[in-house]
Amino acid sequence: MAKGTTSFRISYTALSLAVPERVHFRYRLDGIDDEWKEADTRREVSYTNLGPGSYRFHVIAANNDGIWNEEGAVLEFKILPLFYQTYWFYLLCFLALACLAWAAYRFRVRQLQGRMQMQFEERLSERTRIAQDLHDTLLQGVVSAAMQLDVATERVGEKSPAKPMLDHINGLMANVIAEGRNALKGLRSPTVNYLTDLEQRFSDIRQDLEIGERISFRTIVSGQPRPLLSVIGEETHQITREALTNAFRHSGATAIEVEIEYTERQFRIVVRDNGSGIDPAIVKSGREGHFGLSGMRERAHNVEGQLRVYSRSKGGTEVELTIPGRIAFETHALHFAGKWFSSLNRRKTRLNKEASNK
């Protein structure tokens, strides 16, 4: 039949030498009629709203004695599809929708990445300014005070009762100056390669805090490492540094570890210790006057991540940061595109085989 046919009429008849007008008929169209339809003495049938495809029409007749001809007659026919009813058109529509979805996805990812990169650059500029101000005011003042204290200590006799106290204060001042310089160094640090430097920077935290070897510390990496966006790497480093600082200084732990996990779906970092744990109330609301946990949660939120803290009394603490892969990894979008097009090619091949089999 012609392309786009949706309605047609079939006429049929049967020979009878006795009483032709008393011949009864039944018919059935495969795929449309579930069972035989009674036509009585009518010799034609109409169908509407049929789609393209192959059909088989069956008709049987009974004479005036009610004896049915079980073999009947069969008519096979095919309705050709219009261009918009073909598999190629469906595939084309699917490709168009998929391309639109992919473009929307890439636009959203680029939008998020661009916003985060801009925030990182603004934050780095602000941190550089703050570092300069702190260096020129607070740190220089502390250094001057430490020098004056050192001079005063030298003038005190070795047998003076104040000598041990002054030496202790000198040690505290030296630690404060060292920590201040480390903090300023972190504030002024430019963008780094977080694919190769992230693990090393975590390992350097023990040395920065002058912990020594009394606490066991290790870093575990699982999955295939991938480059992180600079803002993700910076925020991740700050969150992990805060968690490690708390673990080294306040947990009383003898073993601390950092697990870095790269998967297609997400980037994940876990800091674990076997220390004394954290009060559940502090985990939930933080400690008054301290902003460690709240700052970590804010940083995680800024990069579309999620921070979880698990702790129990004398059972250690686990701080887990997860960030979606589409946000964290520079190369995630290209990898996703490769997989998507590979899947699309497999689907196209399967449709071609189904069409050829028909």
Residue extents of the structural domains in the chain = 8-82, 86-190, 192-358
Q: Does domain 192-358 have CATH number 3.30.565.10?
A: yes
**Average of pLDDT values for 259-285?**
85
CA–CA separation, 298 vs 270, rounded Å? 17
Residue 338 pLDDT grade (very low, low, confident, very high; cuts 50, 70, 90): very low
State the pTM of this model: 0.46
CA–CA separation, 268 vs 328, rounded Å? 10
Q: Is the dihedral of CA 281, 285, 291, 295 positive or negative?
A: positive
Radius of gyration of the chain (CA): 39
The per-residue pLDDT for 277 is 82
Q: What six digits make up the tokens of 4?
A: 């786009």
CA–CA separation, 67 vs 65, rounded Å? 6
pLDDT, the chain, mean: 78
**Average of pLDDT values for 130-143?**
74
The per-residue pLDDT for 134 is 73
Q: In what order do the strands lie in the sheet with 317-324?
A: 216-222, 255-262, 266-273, 317-324, 306-311
Pick 37 or 192 by higher pLDDT. 37
Q: What six digits make up the tokens of 294?
A: 């709240």
Per mean pLDDT, which range of 20-24, 68-72, 94-98 is the poorest? Answer: 20-24
Q: What is the H or E stretch that residue 260 is in?
A: strand 255-262
**Average of pLDDT values for 152-161?**
80
CA–CA separation, 218 vs 206, rounded Å? 10
- CATH fold of 8-82: Immunoglobulin-like (2.60.40)
Torsion of CA 150, 154, 156, 160, to 10 degrees: 90
Q: Which residues contact 315 (CB under 8 A, 6 or more apart)?
A: 277
**Average of pLDDT values for 103-129?**
76
Domains 8-82 and 192-358 share a fold: no
Decide: 11 and 88 in contact? Cβ < 8 Å: no
The per-residue pLDDT for 78 is 87
